[in-house]
Amino acid sequence: ADPPSRGEGHNPTKQAIMEAVRAGRVEAGARRAITGCPPHGRRTERRRSSVPWPRGVGRGRAASEPPSTAPRASLDKTERTEASRTASGSSGLDYSRLLECCEPDSAPLNVAVLVSGGVDSSVALQLLKRAGHKLRAFYLQIWFEEAFDNYWGECPWEDDLRYVQQVCEQAGVELEVVPLTKEYWDRVVSYSIDEIKAGCTPNPDMMCNSKIKFGAFVDHLEASYPAGEWDRIASGHYARVDRESRPGEATLCMSQDSKKDQTYFLASLRPGQVARCMFPIGCFPKDEVRALANAFALPNRDRKDSQGICFLGKVNFDEFIEKHLGTMEGPLVEDETGEVLGTHRGYWFHTIGQRKGIGLSHGPWYVSSKDIEQNVVYISRNYDSESRERSSFLCHGFNWIAGRTAAEVAEGGLRCKVRHGPGIYDCVFCWVDGEGGTARVDIRGKDHGFAPGQYAVFYDGCTCIGSAVIRSMPEPLTS
């Protein structure tokens, strides 16, 4: 699929936004993202944070100041303790591990911080500041025209960017907007459309991390800054990087919050990408991150977490799919009886386990399987029954990131996830047709949710060792 046209003469939405810019209705930072030009006009005076800054950590520079070249000593143990106590403020928090995931002993590192306007990346920015690193914040502009089409010309990233500006202003950290819309379309959106058309379940969030946040963005840094300028790329992901267990190596580890842990979405990174990562909030559960946001008096501290598929944002999923894949009517067949109960608009609108959007009464109905060649969608009211539970799957497309494969993990130590969340299974892994080809995974337990294209992520204890793509699909009971 090709990205939508951006011709000036055929883009009334963009023209409307530009008119809003000229009328002063869009903030200067958003103007830069739209036009690619730096903002003009009088600078706004930077507000100071109401949270005291720890001794030994600079407040940073205003957006107009050049990066400081003066050497800065890293925090000693006493100063880190004071930083922890200071940051807790009036909230009553007392974290001995406040900077544990920020590498304070290595400060000052040059850190490129990915900020989104959400609470997690904003807290990460503040923690890195207190750890003594030299920072620059980067906001990745990856929205595309469908977002405007569905929201009547409203700028879908305007709120995000406004919060990013406020957070960076408070911290005294320079902000740069990086337009990566084309790269995002080519590497994430097109992949997702192709996977959906093939009847698979794509994971755009995984592709966004490996191909954009720690891929195309790194390409931008290398093209725009001197070689070796950046020591780390930091983000607000719930994960940790262990640099001590295996000297000279960096391994991806689960965060302290099993529910929010995002190593599942990071398992498609390459080892070299993991080595450059830093995840400052990986040492905290979500409720403590929220408490830190209040202690830091962040402008966005009450903002809700983002939801939904990463590239769609506020775009309606069915409308997006219909625009790019069209419709193709086919039968809805009851799995147990083979009876045709209705029709669907195309198998690509449905995923295994889906409940909403089937449009039949006397439910609830679930999508139990699909026949892609015949365009048949099988449904059932007994999706949760034992007859549908699976304990094994085939997988391929392996990406190992910790110096060992799943087959090399000591007996009894291997675990896997088949989706984001706290659920994790003990499992057994064996090659089917030679190392690196196809493997069979048997989990200790039962699961309904194995679908082609879905990722399986493997762990040795709490260390994420890599990922694979699931090949198997549940067969209809009537076959």
**Annotated catalytic residue 277:** no
Quick one: tokens of 87? 């940051």
- Cβ(244)–Cβ(253) below 8 Å: no
Quick one: tokens of 316? 């309606």
User: 200, 208, 283, 416: which one is catalytic?
Assistant: 208
**β pairing state of 463-470 and 455-460:** antiparallel
**Annotated catalytic residue 310:** yes
C-beta atoms surrounding 423 within 10 Å: 13
Sequence letter at residue 60: G
Cis peptide before 71 (omega within 30 of 0): no
Distance between CA 138 and CA 164 in Å, rounded? 9
Distance between CA 52 and CA 434 in Å, rounded? 59
- Cβ(178)–Cβ(220) below 8 Å: yes
User: 310, 395, 416, 427: which one is catalytic?
Assistant: 310
CA angle 368, 388, 360 (to 5 degrees): 35
Task: List beta partners, residue 67.
Answer: none
By the 10 Å C-beta count (0-12 exposed, 13-18 middle, 19+ buried), 323 is classed as middle
Task: Name the E strands within 154-199.
Answer: 175-179
CA angle 350, 355, 360 (to 5 degrees): 90
Distance between CA 162 and CA 77 in Å, rounded? 36
Task: List beta partners, residue 399.
Answer: 467
Sequence letter at residue 419: R
Q: What are phi and psi of 376, to 5 degrees?
A: -105, 135
Task: List beta partners, residue 401.
Answer: none
**Which residues are annotated as catalytic?**
208, 310
